[in-house]
Structure 1
Amino acid sequence: MDSWTLLKLTFVSFVLYVIGLYVYRMYFDPLSNIPGPKLAAASLWYEFYYDVIKKGRYTWKIWEMHDKYGPIVRINPYEVHINDPDMIDEVYPNQQKRSMKYGWAMKMFGLKTGVLATESHELHRTRRGIFAHYLSKATLLRLEPGIQSVIDKLVSRFEGLKGSGRNVNLLDVYACLTGDVIGQYAFAQTYGFLDDPDFSPYWHKLIMNVSQNGLVLKQFGWMMPMMQAMPDWLVKIIQPQMISLLEFQRGFRRQVIEAKEGIARGEKPIGQETIFYDVLTNDAVRPQEKETDHLQDEAQTIIAAGTVTTGHILAILSFYLINNPTVLERLQTELGDLMSKTGPFPKWQQIEQLPYLTAVITEGLRMGYGVSHRLQRLFPDTVLQYNGYSVPPMTPLSMTSVLLHDNPTLFPDPRTFKPERYLEQPSLRKYLIPFSRGSRQCAGMHLAYCEFYLTLAAVFAPGRFKLELFETDVSDVETKHDFMNTSPKLDSKGIRVTIN
């Protein structure tokens, strides 16, 4: 057979394969009866176009699908998306119902074994249990002085900027704060981000670059191992943005190795518990959970998750407080009443009792979404019955905070900042999923809340600072791109303020 004939046979075979695959997915696949666009059901390239080419816009395309097809849609050949607030606890159940992560989607983090990327229900329980103690509210209450010391440094930096006329980007500022907090807690050392005169703008940018790269990695899972095997100069030529993720991972690997070497020398962290020292010295933790590759993944998850999402919500809350003087005045009255009894820096347990501040934080989480990307669950033992459709076991099911949090029936005028919603209807909180829900709920939720309460009380205490927006409007705050972490318009210069 000559090469030309072989080429023609190969081409014909490929065309027949594509046609056969299309026919199967349209008419014989178990999901073929679920409504949705035919192109989305036929190929992952549909999602690729909106998430990679259009830069994180598939979430809004999914919203359009629901408007057209109803509350359940097939959004790619394998996955079903539901937009019904009353289904939250079905899609994100507690430990009693076995659920798994979707391996294809988990590739976007560039992780191999960390708890975030663990698909198995049982193994996830084991791995999550290792860290549950360190991120529990009881432990955080003991470590509150360390968290407060980082916030005190932020207050000191703001004091130094007071009246200077210099503008600062709150996205950078709060990423520095949360990065230093989680660094201190994880490895017994702050990263010194808050010490940088310009608030370490590279740090927030680095994590956002890593997030955007994740949409490419999800589509091309083979890319990460290939890039890891290449020299950096070649990576910079082929996929220059990927170098950020590689350097990110190497930094965590160095920290894990340094922690192990310190333990081998008999060194102990001074002053507080630290996550990785305690894990490495805990005889109850399995040896495989102490391997460098695995702890590198866990460090990436803990540091990244503990930085940008919390910092982003703090920046959004600050914008809406500054932009809504009536809300700010009511909050400062509440804080002032508390501080008249406790002093200028009340404790977390005292601050979290404030109903209006709690409503402010809740509304910030609603409007900031937490994680904006859809989160999939697979159920190995369950057929989901919904709206007349049967979804087979091991089908990736997902929901999205953007759609739920902006539901106009539950939250009228959803893009208006209204903390009073939760004072008038406390039950609305059950429809929010900024930290996900169920057995895979974010383990760092209590740390985030601690930082929300302590930071907002410190920055917006009556008479301490007056923050004014600098060349910033709502377009710098509204989410326009879903890179797992939320992103405003790509040409935004950030949420900038001057301090008086």
Structure 2
Amino acid sequence: MYYLIFLYFSFSSLLVLALYRLFFHPLCKYPGPILAALTSWYEAYPNIVKGGGLVAELERLHKLHGPVIRVGPNTLHFNYRQAYHDIYTHGSTLVKDREFYSAIGVHAPQSSLIFCDPEVAKQRRGLLQPLFSRRAVMSLEYTIQQKIDKLLAILNDDYNSSSMAVSMAVAYRALTTDIITSYCFAESSNILESHGLSHPTLRGIEQAVKKAWFQRHFPFFVTFILNVPQTLILWLLPEFEGYLKMKARYERQVDCFLDNPGALSTAEHETVFYHLLEPKNQERPSRSSLLDEAFILVAAGGDTVGNACNIGTFYALKYPSIHQKLKEELDEIWVDKDRPMSYTTLEKLPYLTAFIKEVLRFSMGVVHPLPRVVGPSTPKIGGLKMPSGTIVEMSTTFLHMNPDVFPDPHIFNPDRWLVEDTNQMMLDLAPFSKGPRICLGLNLAWCELYLIFGNIFRRLDLKLLVTEDMIDNFAENCEDYFLPRWEKEYKVFVQNVN
């Protein structure tokens, strides 16, 4: 009897909730799938079952329903530039959606990525900012150049024939991970020195990205895994080996600095821990927070620039005219290729700069829409007044592929950036996001991109290995795993070895 009563009231409650969300909710006037209006689990299907298919699904829904669609009971997704800038560039009264970020960052819950309180985020950003200022980046330029030199030597020595080609996605991720670990911690992961550019750290980051949507929708499972004995984790999920080894390395480094603060001054250069362990006018982050911050810096710093370099190299080799223009410009100012060329010199090159901007437009940065919560004082979003508490979002894909700003957006064309007025395009170029939560490492990323591309196209003669399953167009094959991923790849080899 009591069981039947319980079922009756449960069913009645669900029915009332469904009717409210469909017909009486403040967002009921906005079009979208019925299932999305009923449950926030709507996006789980394209995320998990379709394997990173949410952005493709959003594109389909916008074509069907227009520029504003309801993608959750309390969530709207937009597809026009004014809305993007209202949410992210000028959205000082909006905050991160706590439920989303707590889930996507469940493996690093005390990192600044997860901070939703703007004041707390601002304080942590203040601690980290000195290491990522333009001045700091330029003072550590030699650290970046050393790793680039290492990669070029490996490509020359080990991948110099069509039978010994290398995946540039792997090569660049190894390079950028070595750069970020050396830059932030004065202790490189040395992935470039591993056989075949294979390393537990690299595999750990890759596995973390591939499981992004599982942890987004089932964060409790990840929390459980991270709290069981490591031997059991490795027995059940051996792919977690890389993550655990990386975590252990930073645990040792953090504990060393906590036990002996004087060790901070003996490092090769200032590290991220130097700034975090000696904060001014605020409490020092906990040991857990230090570890979480380290993990997020490595994951973000190794992946975003690596993706951009992978995309840029492909299009430069695919289109000989682009490759030739890069080489001619670099050859003219870089007479002795055995001597390093500075970042400040490279960033003055018009075509290289145009090429990098087009690369960043294609590579997106974070491809998944980043949800923000409307506050009581939030002005209109895209010309629409939203109720307080509404979740609003827009994927960078829709900004970067807007044909009104970027004609023929799916065509890789650096020349579009060589016109006299690029102000509107620059406003809509957002690979590092925009506004108060813009990526902290953008100065480092720009420096890496100039140095990597400059060295690759001046000092190597790369050849694209053409295969039947080679990727054809990055813009049309992107999968959304928070960061972009592609099923296919391409390989290159060095011809005319130095």
Same fold (TM over 0.5): yes
Percent identical residues:
27
The answer for the alignment partner of 1:143 in structure 2 is 140
Whether the 8 Å contact between 1:382 and 1:392 is mirrored in structure 2 is no
Q: Partners in 2 of 1:93 and 1:401 — Cα distance?
A: 12
Deviation of 1:441 after TM superposition, in Å, equals 0.4
Deviation of 1:324 after TM superposition, in Å, equals 0.7
User: Letter of the aligned partner of 2:226 in structure 1?
Assistant: Q
Alignment partner of 1:412 out of 404, 407, 410 = 407
Deviation of 1:63 after TM superposition, in Å, equals 1.5
Change (3 A) 1:316 1:24: same
Whether the 8 Å contact between 2:346 and 2:451 is mirrored in structure 1 is yes
Structure 2's unaligned 5+ residue stretches are none
Deviation of 1:172 after TM superposition, in Å, equals 1.2
Change (3 A) 1:123 1:454: same
Alignment partner of 1:358 out of 348, 353, 364 = 353
Q: Partners in 2 of 1:19 and 1:148 — Cα distance?
A: 62
User: Letter of the aligned partner of 2:347 in structure 1?
Assistant: E
Deviation of 1:237 after TM superposition, in Å, equals 7.8
The answer for the alignment partner of 2:74 in structure 1 is 78
Correspondence list, 1:185-224, <5 A: 185-200=183-198, 202-224=200-222
Structure 1's unaligned 5+ residue stretches are none
Whether the 8 Å contact between 1:135 and 1:446 is mirrored in structure 2 is yes
Alignment partner of 1:298 out of 287, 293, 303 = 293
Deviation of 1:285 after TM superposition, in Å, equals 5.9
Q: Deviation per CA, 1:66-116: give whole Å up to 9, x if none.
A: 112221111111221111113332111358x33311111112122322111
Whether the 8 Å contact between 1:380 and 1:394 is mirrored in structure 2 is yes
Matched, 1:381 2:376: yes
Q: Partners in 2 of 1:232 and 1:321 — Cα distance?
A: 44
Whether the 8 Å contact between 2:78 and 2:84 is mirrored in structure 1 is no
Whether the 8 Å contact between 1:210 and 1:244 is mirrored in structure 2 is no
Whether the 8 Å contact between 1:187 and 1:277 is mirrored in structure 2 is no
Change (3 A) 1:476 1:93: closer
**What SS does the aligned partner of 1:173 have?**
helix
Deviation of 1:211 after TM superposition, in Å, equals 1.7
The answer for the alignment partner of 2:340 in structure 1 is 345
Alignment partner of 2:28 out of 14, 19, 32 = 32
User: Letter of the aligned partner of 1:301 in structure 2?
Assistant: I
Matched, 1:14 2:10: yes
The answer for the alignment partner of 1:105 in structure 2 is 100
Deviation of 1:118 after TM superposition, in Å, equals 0.2
User: Letter of the aligned partner of 2:40 in structure 1?
Assistant: L
Deviation of 1:306 after TM superposition, in Å, equals 0.4
Q: Partners in 1 of 2:22 and 2:251 — Cα distance?
A: 45
Change (3 A) 1:335 1:225: same
User: Letter of the aligned partner of 1:469 in structure 2?
Assistant: L
Correspondence list, 1:421-432, <5 A: 421-424=416-419, 425-427=421-423, 428-432=425-429
Matched, 1:443 2:443: no
Q: Partners in 1 of 2:241 and 2:58 — Cα distance?
A: 31
**What SS does the aligned partner of 1:474 have?**
coil
Deviation of 1:332 after TM superposition, in Å, equals 0.8
User: Letter of the aligned partner of 2:81 in structure 1?
Assistant: P
The answer for the alignment partner of 1:259 in structure 2 is 257
Deviation of 1:497 after TM superposition, in Å, equals 1.0
Matched, 1:50 2:71: no
Correspondence list, 1:315-354, <5 A: 315-340=310-335, 344-354=339-349
Q: Partners in 2 of 1:444 and 1:438 — Cα distance?
A: 14
Matched, 1:114 2:121: no
The answer for the alignment partner of 1:458 in structure 2 is 455
Q: Deviation per CA, 1:258-307: give whole Å up to 9, x if none.
A: 3334536x463443221113421x25163342x11111111111111100
Change (3 A) 1:388 1:121: closer
RMSD: 2.5
**What SS does the aligned partner of 1:92 have?**
helix
Q: Deviation per CA, 1:309-335: give whole Å up to 9, x if none.
A: 111110111111010100110111111
Whether the 8 Å contact between 1:377 and 1:397 is mirrored in structure 2 is yes
Matched, 1:272 2:264: no
User: Letter of the aligned partner of 2:186 in structure 1?
Assistant: A
Whether the 8 Å contact between 2:380 and 2:386 is mirrored in structure 1 is yes
Correspondence list, 1:117-136, <5 A: 117-136=114-133
TM-score, length-scaled by structure 1: 0.91
**What SS does the aligned partner of 1:268 have?**
helix
Q: Partners in 1 of 2:458 and 2:366 — Cα distance?
A: 28
Whether the 8 Å contact between 2:358 and 2:414 is mirrored in structure 1 is yes
User: Letter of the aligned partner of 2:485 in structure 1?
Assistant: S
Deviation of 1:485 after TM superposition, in Å, equals 1.4
**What SS does the aligned partner of 2:29 have?**
coil
Q: Partners in 1 of 2:153 and 2:239 — Cα distance?
A: 35
User: Letter of the aligned partner of 1:488 in structure 2?
Assistant: W
Count of matched residue pairs = 488
Matched, 1:90 2:101: no
Q: Partners in 2 of 1:270 and 1:485 — Cα distance?
A: 32
Q: Deviation per CA, 1:227-252: give whole Å up to 9, x if none.
A: 22333565568777677656654554
Deviation of 1:16 after TM superposition, in Å, equals 1.5
Deviation of 1:386 after TM superposition, in Å, equals 4.7
Whether the 8 Å contact between 1:208 and 1:485 is mirrored in structure 2 is no
Deviation of 1:460 after TM superposition, in Å, equals 0.5
Change (3 A) 1:417 1:476: closer
Whether the 8 Å contact between 1:108 and 1:213 is mirrored in structure 2 is no
Deviation of 1:14 after TM superposition, in Å, equals 2.3
Whether the 8 Å contact between 2:326 and 2:352 is mirrored in structure 1 is yes
Deviation of 1:340 after TM superposition, in Å, equals 3.0
